[in-house]
Amino acid sequence: MAMVINEEQQMLKESAQGFLAEFAPVSELRKLRDEGSATGYNADLWRQMVDMGWAAILVPEAYGGLDFGHVGMGQIIEQTGRTLTASPLFSTAIIGASLINLAASDAQKSELLTAIAGGELTTALAVDETIHHAPTQISMTAVKQGDSYRLNGEKRFVIDGHSADKLIVAVRTSGNLGDTTGISLLILDRNSAGVEVERTEMVDSRNAAIVRFSDVSVSADNLLGEEGQGFSALSATLDIGNAYLAAEMLGIAQESFDRTLQYLKERKQFGVLIGSFQALQHRAAHWWSEVELCKSVVLKVLQSLDQGDPRSPAMASIAKAKLCEVVELATNEAIQMHGGIGMTDEYEIGFFIKRARPAASLYGDYNYHGDRFALLSGY
């Protein structure tokens, strides 16, 4: 497949770029932070996204969706990286919709995916239990009791976990810590009896949560897929999530570069523009070349997901690892080339480094995905 986006995808990209620049600039994130927003996002903005069809892009047409594909959605997510837009788009329309589509029964899909496409349902995935991503290290238990499960355990770094309508929880129904078999997926209301949600405000002004489950009763009808066989769908969903995190980090890296390049053309030291200093020119050229390389990396992994390429897991890991590396370079250089003013809250450039770090850590950092790519490649 050609390494270019088609006309419809380009139109979607330009539409998202214009919409987000007008209605969700970085100043909107600052406003949400300063006001101490209860949800961490603008509900009216999310409604507009839904009305534009963004929540339905990955949902099959049979369930009221657009089925426009990962490359198309990737164009939107890249633009959200450029404006640092906070919304349930990632946790619900990407992670939630993908996992439900992969694991749920037809009846569950009809109910849940239709609700997601219409903006009537938000979801949050609860998988990690420690400070590092480890999807096989699940100790949270779900014990079968008649026609229900009793859940006990704790989940950390649950993105949008404090505001989502429903939680999709990875639990252990059998096997030992580290086993891929014995992992099951259950969906339940966030406000279920026995669920305690602790909101954690992160450095990027986004929201995550620590969710504790104490003897939570969940109907067996809420099981997604077969008992003990949930890891395959979970792993595939995490690959999808990492591909989109790579797309978002590409947007962060590109916007950081564009803003810094403009600053180099305006800022003077010793009576001359700092953009004329050869040392800064060399650093900027290296930065630009890395961002250009990443554009191909991100597009390739999104195309592989659309094509059902069996190499998608490896591609997702190499994309996430490479973008972790480049977004760190980009945001560090942005701060350094702006100088001391880049560290102040007055300048928006500092918001990009604050978002880059949590995005790089979510669902596995550079080291995790570098190691995973090596393992998948037979090393």
> What pLDDT is attached to residue 3?
86
CATH homologous superfamily for the domain 7-122: Acyl-CoA dehydrogenase/oxidase, N-terminal domain (1.10.540.10)
Indicate if the pLDDT at residue 235 is higher than 80.
yes
Indicate if the pLDDT at residue 30 is higher than 80.
yes
Task: Give whole-number Cα distances, 378 to 134, 213, 223, in Å.
Answer: 20, 38, 34
Q: Where are the domains of the chain?
A: 7-122, 124-228, 232-376
CB within 8 Å of 187: residues ≥ 6 apart: 100, 108, 112, 123, 166, 167, 168, 169, 222, 224
How far, in Å, CA of 347 to CA of 327, rounded? 19
Domains 7-122 and 232-376 belong to one CATH topology: no
> What pLDDT is attached to residue 201?
85
Indicate if the pLDDT at residue 1 is higher than 90.
no
102-135: pLDDT as tens digits: 999 999 999 999 999 999 999 999 999 999 999 9
Span 59-76, average pLDDT: 97
How far, in Å, CA of 302 to CA of 322, rounded? 15
State the pLDDT confidence band at 376, using cuts at 50, 70 and 90.
very high
Closest CA to 249 of 95, 352, 158: 352
How far, in Å, CA of 9 to CA of 53, rounded? 14
Span 319-342, average pLDDT: 96
State the pLDDT confidence band at 340, using cuts at 50, 70 and 90.
confident
Span 293-297, average pLDDT: 98
Which fold would CATH assign to domain 124-228?
Answer: Butyryl-CoA Dehydrogenase, subunit A; domain 2 (2.40.110)
Answer for the pair 209, 161: CB distance below 8 angstroms, yes or no: yes
143-158: pLDDT as tens digits: 999 999 999 999 999 9
How far, in Å, CA of 319 to CA of 244, rounded? 10
Residue position matching structure tokens 């749920």: 104
Span 311-331, average pLDDT: 98
> What pLDDT is attached to residue 206?
86
253-277: pLDDT as tens digits: 999 999 999 999 999 888 999 999 9
CATH homologous superfamily for the domain 232-376: Butyryl-CoA Dehydrogenase, subunit A, domain 3 (1.20.140.10)
Indicate if the pLDDT at residue 227 is higher than 90.
yes
How far, in Å, CA of 217 to CA of 278, rounded? 65
Indicate if the pLDDT at residue 28 is higher than 90.
yes
**Terminal C-alpha separation, the chain:** 28
State the pLDDT confidence band at 2, using cuts at 50, 70 and 90.
confident
> What pLDDT is attached to residue 334?
97
State the pLDDT confidence band at 93, using cuts at 50, 70 and 90.
very high
State the pLDDT confidence band at 169, using cuts at 50, 70 and 90.
very high
Worst-scoring range by mean pLDDT, 64-73, 204-213, 235-244, 288-297?
A: 204-213
CB within 8 Å of 308: residues ≥ 6 apart: none
Span 277-303, average pLDDT: 97
